[in-house]
Structure 1
């Protein structure tokens, strides 16, 4: 006989809640919301019991059931939740287990832990065939057909389609990390299959630009060290300072990206990080053998690398022109140069423009306005805590990024931060007409400086270097990516931005901005904004309601 005296307690929460197993729920119950067509709407159901229940079935009862995917919110360890100089807007900063990975509930079963709150993440992927109206979504926790607990959510579907994303968005794609973790040869068929799977997930979550390794990425690499070779351009030394190039692997990569819905190709940096002093690692066939011909021992401004670039760049340009993608390609010089590197950067940039022409687009993450004012960088990407001078100078297109250093006041996505701090970025980018967003860590599964590989289920801080949540958005599944709370919340941020753009189309920018700043003490900036999840959720509901009213007024 089943002992039904100990049942499962449930609470419906927003997607922005973070449910820790060792504390009481801090977020208020959230039982209804609204969404547009072609939007992915999410909420959570937290659950616990006084006793352990193994293999409890989770059953969805709703007309929207065909559109619903369930995930178990897993726990990930963090030894470095944040650095010592963090601000006060963190949920906790002690090392421990944090909710983050999302494990698909393919068999719709969970273990209900005694005395521990856990949660199911409910994702409703609405296409434009769903009829407008209000739908109930009920989740039942059942044991042998008997209900142990249940929770319900009311979702209103508004009959207006979320517009296409206009933001250019890249999360740096580390193809070498895939080869390393899954123990497959670079650019083998197994590797290509994994690459496609991870690109597909990226696109599904609003990443429409993919970092493309012309040569092995010269990013986060110890001076003198090497990352595993993943090089899409084949190189052959044909004579003294003479080279031949094979674009077949690059062609396959770009075709795959386009097939998966990628809009923009972001070519990897052609000089090393933090100083523009050396060439990236480049491997070539020399007398029938593969050898490294450039790297840390190559002077960035030396004649040898100059000869190489003078031959390679025109052929690359001819390739992208012939493929009719030149207007969809972005180039990098070097990542994060500081003012002391300005001379090196300017010389390197000039060298690339000589080979590629002035009609290609260069972007680079940097935070000193001097690079822009001197005309060295036309499309700078400042960090969101250094963006104000770029806004004041009227930089257009305006891009931004954040990473390990942005832990004071501004938006970011560390494990220890509330999800609202991740999602508010969409509102900020809408207000300031941001055209592009960059982050360095879609799937960086190495330690800092790429000195060794890590298991991202055990090490989430790149070997106690970057706060957990900074190095990667996805985990490696059996044959493809496992998502995270942060991945889903970032997509919600992008959807908020798109919803505001729709409202602007319908009612004007003034009306949209009036809603954004209706209940704030001071104008929203990248560092000043309401911190509460309730404000964000309420704002989005107000935007949806305004869209609905505007639609009705036009009928």
Structure 2
């Protein structure tokens, strides 16, 4: 740590969270290593004992074209945690929390607020263009007068080898209507398509390789009887004899956009309502030249009219899928988070879907294994706090998810949780050979139940609906997506998973797991795992060293 009369600086890892009103308890983090096709992040914290404006940030490095410097912004949280949260939190009080990664101004200046720690987020992206070797990354702070206030130098080793491609299927639900609402653009206008492409690209670069595809307006987080703005990629026309015609022009454009931005899998939105499967999603159609609502909350999902629609729609959709060669890339949903009380309605819907889609994977988030045992869900996605019965029965393939309900013991990514609790998931996914991970909130910028649109820079808890950090991992910037520290840390978890998979090819799975759990009092599970950032950082360094020692690098 360097120090002057007015200014302090300290190097920190990506797993530290710097609060303006707290002392830094972490020691300095001065060096690390990364493969040539992964993203590496660290932080430089700084504090002034008086107000200092226009502090220039100077980046000095041989690999500076591959480095992005951003400021960690503060956003408010009124609901950081539920009242009965566990003890593995940083704090539980309302206030300002570090989260958005804000671009620096054109002049690359920051402000030093009196006696407040703030931080810069440094992202290194070698992108297979940086030669293997050790590089110094210098960050210098200068006063408006040109006086040097402080400087830190981080040493990064770029390992001349590549991590394998990601095999985990990962979806964070993409809310196209929220983009249109925040930016004030018409749904499916040219500007909307541009925005959707930008946010898809950011998702793909962070390991989100599956995207929620709104065949019809997704029946998700909508109050009963309420509506979200119409986001419907399939055009429906009703003929005089009551049959339907389907046009896939917008769905074609969506698929092309996914291809252009690196999205591998299409996750078709649910064809029955959330929490019960008793109704149909909002489906608009052309009736005698006018747009009318064909189905919605007043539709009995078990009724003949909706069944007739589904029996015509699914074959048309699978015809489109197969004509585009997408059969291996498409997944379907019935209904989100059904409970045991919904078994009859869900079973009715599930049997219909399985009859019409015998060759396609159908996935749903749920936590009661009886749905699987009765054959209603062949690819269940249990919550991470309810996954043990599915593991015990050796359900394969197995996915998992978490949301606001998984706030005790297990990994999660709320504002108030240590970043280590976010990143540990990569090791857990590796140990249990998890095929896919689902989360509902990539960019949900609405209140709970979508009663109103919100500004995510001002409201981070969905109007008191969920702990801050549950509903979104990206913010809407003037030029497109603004990433969060939680998104970057989750990306690191996925890179850990890929590093473990690479190491397994070199020393075997048994040796990997033995070394991962060496010295631990209990084996790693979804609820039991090391909780300190130093363990995670040292284990990732161990992975890198082992890989280097056991392979011929290029």
| 3-state SS, counterpart of residue 131 of structure 1 | coil
1:10-37 Cα deviation digits (max 9, x unpaired): 0000000000000101222111111111
Q: More deviation in 404-413 or 123-132?
A: 123-132
Name the CA distance, whole Å, in 2 between partners of 1:353 and 1:199: 30
Question: Is the contact between residue 235 and residue 284 of structure 1 (CA under 8 Å) also seen in structure 2?
Answer: yes
Equivalence map 1:173-252=2 (5 Å): 173-252=174-253
Question: Is the contact between residue 168 and residue 437 of structure 2 (CA under 8 Å) also seen in structure 1?
Answer: yes
Name the CA distance, whole Å, in 1 between partners of 2:241 and 2:178: 34
| 3-state SS, counterpart of residue 504 of structure 1 | helix
Equivalence map 1:41-56=2 (5 Å): 41-56=40-55
Q: CA deviation at 1:56?
A: 1.1
| 3-state SS, counterpart of residue 400 of structure 2 | strand
| Runs of 4+ off more than 3 Å | 4-7
| 3-state SS, counterpart of residue 160 of structure 1 | coil
Name the CA distance, whole Å, in 2 between partners of 1:372 and 1:98: 40
Q: Which residue of 2 aligns with 1:380?
A: 380
Name the CA distance, whole Å, in 1 between partners of 2:485 and 2:323: 41
| 3-state SS, counterpart of residue 306 of structure 2 | helix
Equivalence map 1:505-544=2 (5 Å): 505-544=505-544
Q: CA deviation at 1:426?
A: 0.2
Q: Which residue of 1 aligns with 2:134?
A: 134
Q: Which residue of 2 aligns with 1:447?
A: 447
Q: CA deviation at 1:5?
A: 7.2
Gaps of 5+ in 1: none
| 3-state SS, counterpart of residue 491 of structure 2 | helix
Q: CA deviation at 1:136?
A: 1.0
- Structure 1 pair 25/5, CA: closer, same or farther in 2 (3 Å)? closer
Name the CA distance, whole Å, in 2 between partners of 1:198 and 1:168: 18
Superposition TM-score, scaled by structure 2 size: 0.98
Q: CA deviation at 1:479?
A: 3.1
Q: Which residue of 2 aligns with 1:461?
A: 461
Question: Is the contact between residue 448 and residue 463 of structure 1 (CA under 8 Å) also seen in structure 2?
Answer: yes
- Structure 1 pair 5/369, CA: closer, same or farther in 2 (3 Å)? closer
Question: Is the contact between residue 462 and residue 471 of structure 2 (CA under 8 Å) also seen in structure 1?
Answer: yes
Equivalence map 1:9-48=2 (5 Å): 9-48=8-47
Q: More deviation in 69-78 or 49-58?
A: 49-58
Q: Which residue of 1 aligns with 2:497?
A: 497
Q: More deviation in 56-65 or 223-232?
A: 56-65
Question: Is the contact between residue 241 and residue 308 of structure 1 (CA under 8 Å) also seen in structure 2?
Answer: no
Q: CA deviation at 1:145?
A: 3.2
Q: Which residue of 1 aligns with 2:416?
A: 416
| 3-state SS, counterpart of residue 142 of structure 2 | strand
1:166-198 Cα deviation digits (max 9, x unpaired): 000000000000111111111010110100000
Name the CA distance, whole Å, in 2 between partners of 1:159 and 1:514: 26
Gaps of 5+ in 2: none
Name the CA distance, whole Å, in 1 between partners of 2:285 and 2:182: 25
1:66-108 Cα deviation digits (max 9, x unpaired): 1100110000100000101110000000000000011022532
Name the CA distance, whole Å, in 2 between partners of 1:326 and 1:239: 32
Question: Is the contact between residue 269 and residue 335 of structure 1 (CA under 8 Å) also seen in structure 2?
Answer: yes
Q: RMSD value over aligned CA atoms? A: 1.3
1:287-311 Cα deviation digits (max 9, x unpaired): 1111111100000011111111111
Name the CA distance, whole Å, in 1 between partners of 2:127 and 2:455: 36
Name the CA distance, whole Å, in 2 between partners of 1:498 and 1:487: 17
Question: Is the contact between residue 241 and residue 304 of structure 1 (CA under 8 Å) also seen in structure 2?
Answer: no
Name the CA distance, whole Å, in 1 between partners of 2:406 and 2:330: 28
Matched, 1:8 2:7: yes
Question: Is the contact between residue 515 and residue 543 of structure 1 (CA under 8 Å) also seen in structure 2?
Answer: no
| 3-state SS, counterpart of residue 358 of structure 1 | coil
Q: Which residue of 2 aligns with 1:300?
A: 301
Name the CA distance, whole Å, in 2 between partners of 1:210 and 1:23: 38
1:109-151 Cα deviation digits (max 9, x unpaired): 1111111000000000012232212111110001243311111
Matched, 1:72 2:87: no
Question: Is the contact between residue 4 and residue 149 of structure 2 (CA under 8 Å) also seen in structure 1?
Answer: no
Matched, 1:353 2:351: no
Q: CA deviation at 1:160?
A: 1.4
Question: Is the contact between residue 19 and residue 25 of structure 1 (CA under 8 Å) also seen in structure 2?
Answer: yes
Matched, 1:255 2:256: yes
Q: CA deviation at 1:508?
A: 1.2
| 3-state SS, counterpart of residue 551 of structure 2 | helix
Question: Is the contact between residue 8 and residue 141 of structure 1 (CA under 8 Å) also seen in structure 2?
Answer: no
| 3-state SS, counterpart of residue 110 of structure 2 | strand
Name the CA distance, whole Å, in 2 between partners of 1:128 and 1:514: 31
Q: Which residue of 1 aligns with 2:168?
A: 167
Name the CA distance, whole Å, in 1 between partners of 2:116 and 2:4: 18
Q: CA deviation at 1:341?
A: 1.1
